Structure 1
C-alpha cells in the first residue's frame, strides 16, 4: 500500500507514511497516513460534510457573506 501511495502519506503528501487508516464503521483499511492526519479524520468523525466545511473554513470561505442585494447578505451553506 505504501508503494502504491508513492511512499508518501495520502492526505498531507509528506513522507514517510506510517499510520494505517481504517474506516471506523467497516474496519476496512483506506490508506497509510501520518499521526496528525489520521487523528484529524477521527476528530472530524470521518464525516465528509464536516471535513469539507473545515477545508472551507481554513481557506477563509466559510464565513464570507455574499452581497445579494443592497444590505442583504447570504452566508455560504
Structure 2
C-alpha cells in the first residue's frame, strides 16, 4: 500500500535527495506529485490549504467586516 494515499500499490522506492536516505515506497502518482512540488513541504501545505478552501476564505474581523487573505 502507498505510504501517502494509502490506496494504490507502491512501486517506487523514494529517497531524500540531500541525505540519500530512503523515505518510503509511494505509488507512481504520489511519487510524481512529490516531484512536481520539488519535495517542498511548504508548497505541499499551501496546496492542501488551497484544496480545503482555507486560502481564499475571508476572516470575520467585526460584524459585517471581512478581511480577505493577502
TM-score (norm 1): 0.76
Is 1:41 aligned to residue 43 of structure 2? no
For structure 2, the residue ranges without an aligned partner over 5 or more in a row are none
The residue that corresponds to 2:13 in the other structure is: 20
Task: Considering fraction of residues, name the structure with more helix.
Answer: 2
TM-score (norm 2): 0.82
Q: Contact conserved, 1:65 with 1:73, CA < 8 A, in 2?
A: yes
Tell me how large the CA RMSD over aligned residues is: 1.7
Q: Which ranges of 4 or more aligned residues in structure 1 deviate by more than 4 Å? A: none
